[in-house]
């Protein structure tokens, strides 16, 4: 590398790092008083989930599936207590999260014990490996889902459940393999997702500290390529700020369970900034309204929180224009992680739907 090029590279990293530092410092100051309240609220009485053992859940089998983009996907399978002949339910999580997204649905369905459940971490998320080069692509995520289905459900009927980017992944899969719908895929659940019209200013919110510096997204991308680990270290320092942003933009209730906020923030923070920036372009350019036509032959349930900041109710209503036979459920006072924040309300709708189409 020439001295001039090395100097430019160092300067770029320095500018990106300085921008991130200025934004983080400014926000930390702005939220200083509230951060004190956060520390109090985490240990405040009345948290319904204070004793909930969030984290890894029991499974009967785990395996690694190599995705279309070369990443190794971590997969966990929960088997029914006895063969039932019912469809296998495959869960696909969203951006900056992992399979823990479906914690309460997995818990309820495992207790019921009459259906086979498949969970996996998307590329670059959870226990799956990161993309070694290039950017992530939702089309490739559709192929990754196909790889998981081929490996875990080689025959029999399937119900797909997707949250946020997971719903987009299902749409990409439908675009690529429309023949599966009605034949293999016999039902779809779309939670807090969109077929397009993604707001660039909002899609970065799950990156938390990155969301706060939305005007600097190009710098985040440059910094991630040149020194993402430096930003990750900065994120650890800004954990209180991340917690506040998770509560504010991920939830609908003004005072959600602190334990639940922490659980979601932990999933966010475990996803590297380098991975997050590699997803931004594909999320910005996502437009799969035509792909929804493949879903017209199967029952579809659409669930969204009325206070979802990332994928507002209008996005779900737009999906219904293409799928008029679909059922739309709006969950009051819930944000983007509706299946966690309002687990009882979601399960009250979800479980009967799964039973009906099984």
Please, where are the H alpha helices in 31-182?
32-42, 103-112, 138-152, 165-176
Q: What is the pLDDT of residue 19?
A: 45
Q: What is the pLDDT of residue 129?
A: 96
Answer for the pair 216, 20: CB distance below 8 angstroms, yes or no: yes
**d(C-alpha 7, C-alpha 26), whole Å:** 28
Q: What is the pLDDT of residue 76?
A: 98
Q: What is the pLDDT of residue 224?
A: 41
Neighbours of 285 (CB within 10 A): 11
Q: What is the pLDDT of residue 206?
A: 53
Q: What is the pLDDT of residue 229?
A: 57
Round to the nearest angstrom and report the end-to-end CA distance of the chain: 61
Q: What is the pLDDT of residue 29?
A: 53
Q: What is the pLDDT of residue 116?
A: 98
**d(C-alpha 98, C-alpha 356), whole Å:** 27
Q: Is 78 helix (H, G, I), strand (E, B) or coil?
A: strand
Q: What is the pLDDT along the chain (358 residues), one digit of tens a residue?
A: 555 555 555 444 444 444 445 444 554 554 455 555 555 556 667 899 999 999 889 999 999 999 888 899 999 999 999 988 999 999 999 999 999 999 999 999 999 999 999 999 999 999 999 987 888 999 999 999 999 999 999 999 999 999 999 999 999 999 999 999 999 999 999 999 999 977 665 655 554 434 433 333 333 344 444 345 555 555 555 567 778 888 888 999 999 999 999 999 999 888 888 888 889 888 888 999 999 999 998 999 999 999 999 899 999 999 999 999 999 999 999 999 999 999 999 999 999 999 999 9
**d(C-alpha 232, C-alpha 304), whole Å:** 31
Q: What is the pLDDT of residue 23?
A: 47
CA atoms within 13 A on the CB side of 249: 22
């Amino acid at each position: 590398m020439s001295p001039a090029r090395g100097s430019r590279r160092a300067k770029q990293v320095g500018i990106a790092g300085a921008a991130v530092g200025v934004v983080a410092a400014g926000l930390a100051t702005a939220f200083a008083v509230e951060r004190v309240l956060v520390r109090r609220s985490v240990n405040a009485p009345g948290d319904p989930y204070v004793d909930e053992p969030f984290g890894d859940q029991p499974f009967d089998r785990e395996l690694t599936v190599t995705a279309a983009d070369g990443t190794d996907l971590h997969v966990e399978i929960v088997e029914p207590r006895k063969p039932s002949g019912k469809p296998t339910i495959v869960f696909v999580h969203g951006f900056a999260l992992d399979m823990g997204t479906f914690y309460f649905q997995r818990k309820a369905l495992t207790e019921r014990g009459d259906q086979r459940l498949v969970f996996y971490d998307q590329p670059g998320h959870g226990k799956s490996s990161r993309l070694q080069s290039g950017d992530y692509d939702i089309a490739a995520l559709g192929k990754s889902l196909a790889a998981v289905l081929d490996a875990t459900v080689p025959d029999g009927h399937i119900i797909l459940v997707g949250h946020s980017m997971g719903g987009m992944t299902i749409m990409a899969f439908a675009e690529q393999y429309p023949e599966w719908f009605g034949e293999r895929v016999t039902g779809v659940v779309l939670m807090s997702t969109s077929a397009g019209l993604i707001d660039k200013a909002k899609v970065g919110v799950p990156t938390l500290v990155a969301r706060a510096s939305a005007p600097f997204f190009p710098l985040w991308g440059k910094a991630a390529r040149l020194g993402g680990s430096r930003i990750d270290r900065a994120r650890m320092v800004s954990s209180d700020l991340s917690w506040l942003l998770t509560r504010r933009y991920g939830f609908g209730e003004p005072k959600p369970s602190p334990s639940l906020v922490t659980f979601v923030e932990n999933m966010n923070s475990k996803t590297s900034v380098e991975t997050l920036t590699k997803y931004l372009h594909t999320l910005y350019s996502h437009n799969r309204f035509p792909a929804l036509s493949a879903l017209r032959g199967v029952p579809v349930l659409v669930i969204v929180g009325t206070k979802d900041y990332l994928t507002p109710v209008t996005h779900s209503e737009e999906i219904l224009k293409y799928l008029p036979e679909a059922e739309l459920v709006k969950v009051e006072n819930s944000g983007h992680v509706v299946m966690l924040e309002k687990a009882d309300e979601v399960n009250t709708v979800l479980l009967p739907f799964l039973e009906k189409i099984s």
